[in-house]
A and B are shown apart, each in its own frame.
Chain A
């Protein structure tokens, strides 16, 4: 994504890439498709040791960044994960970590510690399906949290709920009575989603994240972080797809000449290269704005998602076309990427949702 990396960032990126190539190559991703959680906890702990869960946490809480810009550093991990369609719950775990840190940790120190160590996984729900009613000094939560990434595998669940007085966020243990996750099928081979039913779930005040105040601003920030990481992952995925498809065009001959010599195809590659670089450009700009908490952060995150969401899927489909029939076989890896970018396109807000957010900001 970023063109100019610091030495530390460059080394970190190499380390992450080598780790993923060794520990979760595409053959492994295919195997994990049959596992319920879609990823291996020991593998995730190793990632945590590498820093996948530390970048959004200040040093005094045991975290730390490479460049002083944690989200940009973390986006490197997301990008590398995109290049290998990696499993894991990078987005929800880091969103929950950031929300705990932003809220001043409070009574969630243990959860934060476990998440940072990779011992625990967290899921996050920001939709409008859950209500919180005051009860006995705390709240009772009811409703359904739909489409929760890693929802059936998480140890902690950060739930956004509506009250008569704005939004509240609660960090609940997955074992809380009244929580019932139901797995959903996904187009992605290793990324899992679940619906979580909440039936009179008791949430004491100490489960609140950010106190008993409206959480709208916190939710906005979490969405921005999720959008940056998700679009960075997509950018990494299309980077890799474009790479191997370009190579294919050089290697594949028909009528005695490489595909790369046909102008009709060269022009499509030129367009794809332009979309690819534009995707990197807008993801980097969004990551920087969100990192710096710029007043344009919300807008630029939505710009990135709307652009990358649509373009990435179109680019991978074009690459399928460049491959010919092999591109729609189970054997060829390109479908792993098409699955990932399509799921990324349509989760955490569709491109259309994000365009409407941009329009709301423009017309305000």
Chain B
């Protein structure tokens, strides 16, 4: 099974050159969001047919059954090529791994090969309008009706849901059990009667995030992921995969980055343009930004190795997650300081996304669990400090007090 990494690298290099367009050669320049998703599916199909889809996924579910090291080698080689990065988060690195962890044999055979062929895109239906951090307090409801479950409620902050085929959806199935014990995870078809997907426009103009409304949605009982009322175990695993992916340690990410990134602002160039490159203070800021980015990567390497080798517990994945959020905040501030007024009032003809980045600065500290939740996780589950008091602990969920006006 363990193919020699160097020969694997050479083969991948050759295959990529022959089969994928380079980014410079016109790839990755996309029109609408829908076209971008369509293109990602096509690219994934090309990878699949070439034998480079799901490199670290088991063979029996359409993967290649190789090691994370093979995936890393492929990712290194794929730099500069047009890759289906949109499919990395959450499809490849969060949702599909959870199906691998908890799915029945039928579910794995139905979804995983389709995912790896680019035929199926997955999304997480976890957060609700009532609040994102207290995930286990979900009030979206699924009621058993014969061989079916009937889903009602609403989910939010699901990115790319409009382009997805299935959502991994956490719903309350027992209101008399304490909150963590009354949840069930479902694999829900997105495009079906009773599901309405509404896109949310953000301050930077993007509208990748969605809100979903469920109105008597019919779900076959065979689409429960994990155990009935055992949904929290699945959710915890999704969160672990999410922290790992966002922290940069997922073995299932294909291509150089987990997510399609807007290129980083070139601070040296910004300073030069503003005539500030000789200012020692500005130079220190440029270096500080570079240092934070470098250390962020080094921390990812350390914690990934620590978790893999057992020297660190799984929740340590929150360390790089918190580092990346807080250091990005600082780095965006630095970019503004280096650019000066041009950051918010770009000269005619100059690219000007710094201001919009600044408006979205907190995004990294909010998505995938807030930085405050990350600090709770680190202190409680890495350092072993006492858990926060929870008024809903051990109480039937039906008796738990809820917000007066749902957010």
Contact = CB atoms under 8 A, between A and B. Distances in A.
Interface stretch (B131-139, B215-223, B281-289): B281-289
A278 B283 contact: no
A281 B301 contact: yes
Given A4-B311, A267-B379, A274-B319, A359 B286 contact: yes
Interface size for chain B: under 10, 10 to 19, 20 to 34, or 35 or more residues? 35 or more
B378 A270 contact: yes
A303 B291 contact: yes
Interface in A321-358: 352, 355-358
B277 interface: yes
B283 A363 contact: yes
A249 B299 CA distance: 25
Interface in B287-325: 287-288, 290-292, 294-296, 298-299, 301-303, 305-306, 309, 311-312, 316, 319, 322-323
Interface in A254-278: 257-258, 260-261, 263, 266-267, 269-271, 273-274, 277-278
Contacts of A362: 268, 286-287, 290
Interface stretch (B79-87, B163-171, B382-390): B382-390
Contacts, number: 120
Given A266-B385, A271-B375, A278-B299, A363 B268 contact: yes
A285 interface: yes
Nearest to B266: A362
Contacts of B319: 273-274, 277-278
Contact of A273 (B288, B294, B383, B386): B383
A69 to B, nearest CB: 16
B283 A249 contact: no
Nearest to B386: A261
Given A4-B311, A249-B385, A284 B302 contact: yes
A116 interface: no
A307 interface: yes
B372 interface: yes
Contacts of A274: 299, 319, 322-323, 378
B388 A263 contact: yes
Contacts of A273: 319, 378-379, 382-383
A356 B280 contact: yes
A307 B299 CA distance: 12
Given A246-B383, A267-B375, A277-B319, A356 B284 contact: yes
A106 to B, nearest CB: 37
Interface in B72-108: none
Given A277-B319, A282-B295, A269 B379 contact: yes
A314 to B, nearest CB: 13
B380 to A, nearest CB: 7
Nearest to B387: A261
B156 interface: no
A258 to B, nearest CB: 7
A278 B383 contact: no
Contacts of A249: 385
Nearest to A261: B386
Contact of B305 (A3, A300, A359): A3
Q: Specify which of B292, B306, B375, B385 lies most central, judged by the most chain A CB atoms within 10 Å of its CB.
A: B385
Given A260-B386, A266-B385, A284-B302, A3 B311 contact: yes
Contacts of B382: 270, 273
A303 B385 contact: no
A303 B298 CA distance: 11
B246 interface: no
Contact of B284 (A261, A269, A359): A359
Given A266-B380, A355-B288, A282 B385 contact: no
B302 A3 contact: yes
Interface string B341-352: 000000000000
A97 interface: no
Contact of B385 (A261, A284, A363): A261
Contacts of A229: none
A280 interface: yes
25 contacts: A3-B309, A3-B312, A260-B386, A266-B376, A266-B385, A269-B383, A270-B376, A270-B382, A271-B375, A273-B382, A277-B316, A277-B319, A281-B302, A281-B303, A282-B299, A303-B294, A306-B288, A307-B292, A307-B295, A358-B287, A358-B290, A358-B291, A362-B287, A362-B290, A363-B268
Which 6 pairs show the lowest CB-CB distances between chains A and B? A266-B379, A359-B283, A270-B375, A270-B378, A358-B287, A355-B287
Given A266-B380, A285-B298, A303-B290, 7 more contacts: A3-B306, A271-B322, A273-B379, A273-B382, A303-B295, A358-B291, A359-B287
